Amino acid sequence: MKQALHAKLGLYVVATVWAGVMPAQAQAPANSGGIYACTDANGRRITADRPIASCVDREQRVLGNTGVELRRVGPTLTDQERSALEAKRRQDQAEQQRLREERSRDRAMLARFPNQGVHDAARAEAISQVNDVIGVAQQRQVDLKERRRKLNTELEFYQNDPKKAPANLRRQLDDNTDSQAEQQRFIKQQEEEKQRISQRFDAELQQLRKLWADQTPTAPRAP
């Protein structure tokens, strides 16, 4: 009889406790934001149901109810830190753009110069064009010197003294002197242009050799 009474009393207590727990669970709001976890500056491992104030300067992990990591929250930055981060982001974007442009130039260069023979021919053609221009200028210089010889012959009638020569002859002598000086400057400029062309092709060839080497398949090693 006593055993039956004790059993009934135990069932009553369990039922009462369970009835009290269920409403409390129903009323407790679910933590949809997750659990924040971090290790602070003192090495303490901290968890909370909201962002942790002592870890605003470092990354915080957001965990689900099962302990699975849902995401990570970056540190809260000061205005100066945000400015530095933005500057770094712009710098990274500029570097990525530079690399894209460099790869585009490399592809264009390889398409234009698939091998050194094509590049050498382009160099020779560029130098030849400048040499043609120099040749024309040199011929112009020869003509000017011949014209000067004739003007000097006329000047002999005036004892080679330009002051005694007519104004028209003096003007032709001055024009001839200026034209010869101009042709000399022009020829010098073209010679300098040839040097720049050679330097440009030398730099291109150095870069192309690397690109050609990257395109060459590596032979498999013998077993």
The predicted pLDDT at position 81 comes to 80
Predicted pLDDT at 101:
97
**pLDDT, tens digit, 9 for 90 and up, residues 8-28:** 434 433 334 334 433 433 333
Instruction: Look at 3 and 207; give whichever has higher pLDDT.
Output: 207
H helices of the chain, in order, are: 2-27, 79-112, 116-155, 167-215
In one letter, which amino acid is 10? G
| Residues in a beta bridge with 73 | 60
Backbone angles phi, psi at 114, to 5 degrees: -70, -20
Query: For residues 17 and 29, what is the distance between their CA atoms, to the nearest angstrom?
Result: 21
Residue partners of 183: CB distance under 8 A and separation at least 6? 137, 140, 141, 144
Is pLDDT of 218 > 60? no
Helices 167-215 + 79-112 axis angle, to 10: 100
Q: Which three-class secondary structure state does DSSP give residue 114? A: coil
Block residue for tokens 């690397």: 210
Q: Take residue 44 and report the two structure tokens written for it.
A: 């303490």
Query: Which DSSP string do the residues of 9-64 spell out, in sequence order?
Result: HHHHHHHHHHHHHHHHHHHSPP-TT-EEEEE-TTS-EEEESS--GGGTTS-EEEE-
Q: Name the 3-class secondary structure at 216.
A: coil
Residues in the chain: 223
Q: Position 197: which residue type?
A: I
Q: Give the separation between CA 128 and CA 108, rounded to whole angstroms.
A: 24
Q: What is the CA radius of gyration of the chain?
A: 45
Domain assignments of the chain as residue spans, ordered by start: 31-76, 78-112, 115-214
* pLDDT tens readout for residues 86-133: 899 999 999 999 999 999 999 999 999 999 999 999 999 999 999 999
Tell whether pTM > 0.75. Answer: no
